[in-house]
Structure 1
């Protein structure tokens, strides 16, 4: 019988876990809460991942004690080498797989979208991050600790900026915007000021503001200048990150794939994509941007299959299955996390 592998893409707002075999057959795909060791602790995070793995085995009709040959865990908020080693050590102690590898979730996007496994990847989901791999093996990433390390972007930042701009439009500090009318209805309230007061009082969680991001993007597409400026700011930040990584790895003069992943980049935000493309064409003309056309967990499963020694055909088969399969509904609390991504 073929061996079993697990591929995990742990984002800020949700975690996707795919159980497959080394023939490339998808056995189950489950979804749980995001990986937030910076607020919940690494022990709680890894125990949650272990539970999600047992759920995947159960949904595949297998005993929870069935051995897994290899597990590849690409996790948000695991940004430094020491964190990766800690997560790997704890997952190994929990017995999730005979061989376990741990990386930041940004590299799952790169693994899923770069044909040769190197280049630049940007994840813009609830938050934002980027990383790069040189064809010679060198890597570059950001410290990614939020405001204190200069980070801005992702759906939560877009939502917060939209809410702030709407409040400013009402008190005279900013230009008019349709966001004043459209954002409060998301929470069933009468005004953006009421939303802000509810957040301040703890009646609405800050992370729940993430649901406003699609309204900001929609307003931008219909010509709202304030919303458009927020979307363009996100695009500018993404380009800044890409160019910085290309410069650090001395790839500005090399044709380099740039993989764009995460909810705000994979959800058909054409204005944002066009803005990124135009800016990259001017600042890094040899960069080849592409939007990831498959769930990032495909990159994690590819890594797991390689770790288990599976053939390339198995990777291709599993990727095709993931690309055509609808992701599962969240089986746990999937509210966006409060960290930098």
Structure 2
């Protein structure tokens, strides 16, 4: 048996399955990013997910041969080791436990062991350049330092534009009305709610930029275009690591890529030239499970993908129905 975990900045998904891709158990929780919630809380949530998986399919912990966890905020060696050791206490007989960045989950799900780039645009933004099995992080240093082009960055840009318009310090924009509508409060009275909501709540305002830009709002269009420029800078930095003139596979992962405007804006940037873009067709936890299977020496065939997608759907629907 194998386990794959995708721990994003907002939601964590975990699956227990066979090495042929069949999902036997599924569990979900909130963020497991150790930078945001602390290592202790992250380990507690991860181990709670592991216990749920084992319990729901009556599987003993000694039956787990490999676990692969891609966790937001766990790209650094120290944090990844702390999370790995914490999960090892719950699965002491597992032969392989790997913990790394969640950015690689979608990459492995789409490209497997091939070289390429993962470009993530979710709550934050980052890129990973993968060559010969080694991953190099570019960007993604957190919202306090630099995650330009990500959901928090776009959301804060939306809020800034709305409040500046209300103050008379910036041009009038449709974002002002959209923000007030989402808050269901006058702008000034919504400040407490925004700060209490934190990073993820601010990121939830990002879709307003795409809605207003699609309707022709100049300010919103500028925000989307600047986001695309910043994301393309990540690609340009990654391209320097590859041989000039060759086409580079790039997996686009993260909720922001559901916005066609952002995809279109990215592809017209100079930094995006030379890339072949692939949209992740399955959830990132699929990539985590394929990586866990690879740890056991199992070779993924097309049947692995088919079995995974067919068996996961029912578990997800049941989980969503309980929330």
TM-score normalized by structure 2? Answer: 0.89
Residue 195 in structure 1 maps to residue 195 in structure 2? no
Residue 242 (structure 2) aligns with: 250
Pairing partner for 1:216 from 209, 216, 226: 209
Structure 2 gap segments, 5+ residues each:
none
- CA distances 1:73-129 after superposition (whole Å, capped 9, x unpaired): 001011212322232222212217442111111111211122543200011111112
1:102 has 2:99 as partner: yes
What is the aligned partner in structure 1 of residue 45 from structure 2?
A: 48
Q: 1:274 aligns with which of 244, 264, 281?
A: 264
Distance 2:224 2:191 in 1: 21
Tell me the distance in 2 between the aligned counterparts of 1:244 and 1:44: 34
User: Bigger CA drift: 143-152 or 303-312?
Assistant: 143-152
- Paired residues of 1:294 and 1:323 also in contact (CA < 8 A): no
Please name the residue that 2:304 is paired with.
315
Structure 1 segments of 4 or more deviating over 4 A?
63-66, 322-333
Alignment of 1:137-148 (within 5 A): 137-142=133-138, 144-146=140-142
Q: Give the whole-Å Cα distance in 2 for the aligned partners of 1:211 and 1:283.
A: 27
Separation in 2, partners of 1:332, 1:162: 33
- Residue 27 of structure 2 is matched in structure 1 by 30
Match in the other structure for 2:69: 73
Higher relative contact order structure (alpha carbons within 8 Å, sequence separation ≥ 6): 1
Mapped pair 1:39 → 2:36: yes
Quote the residue 2:288 is aligned against.
Answer: 300
Instruction: From the superposition, tell whether residues 90 and 252 of structure 1 become closer, same or farther in structure 2 (CA, over 3 Å).
Output: farther
Give 1:284 shift. Answer: 4.7
Distance in 1 (CA, whole Å) between partners of 2:144 and 2:18 is 42
2:9 aligns with 12
SS in 1 for 2:291: helix
Contact 1:132 1:141 in 2 (8 A): yes
**What TM-score, normalized by structure 1, do the two folds share?**
0.85
Q: Secondary structure at the match of 2:205?
A: helix
8 Å CA contact 1:30, 1:331 repeated in 2:
no
Measured in 2, the distance between the counterparts of 1:62 and 1:250 equals 47
Question: Contact 1:259–1:292 at 8 Å: present in 2 too?
Answer: yes
| CA shift digits 1:9-43 (9 cap, x unpaired) | 11000111111112321112221111221233223
| Distance across 1 between alignment mates of 2:138 and 2:321 | 31
Tell me what 1:85 maps to: 81
Pick which of 288-297 and 114-123 moved more. Answer: 114-123
Instruction: Give the structure 2 partner of residue 337 of structure 1.
Output: none
Which residue does 1:338 correspond to in 2? none
Three-state SS of the structure 2 residue aligned to 1:273 is helix
1:215–1:274 distance in 2 versus 1, CA, 3 Å: same
Aligned residue in 1 for 2:231: 238
- The match for 1:339 is none
In angstroms, what is the RMSD of aligned CA positions?
A: 2.6
Do the aligned partners of 2:143 and 2:152 also contact (CA within 8 Å) in 1? no
Runs of 5+ unmatched residues, structure 1: 334-341
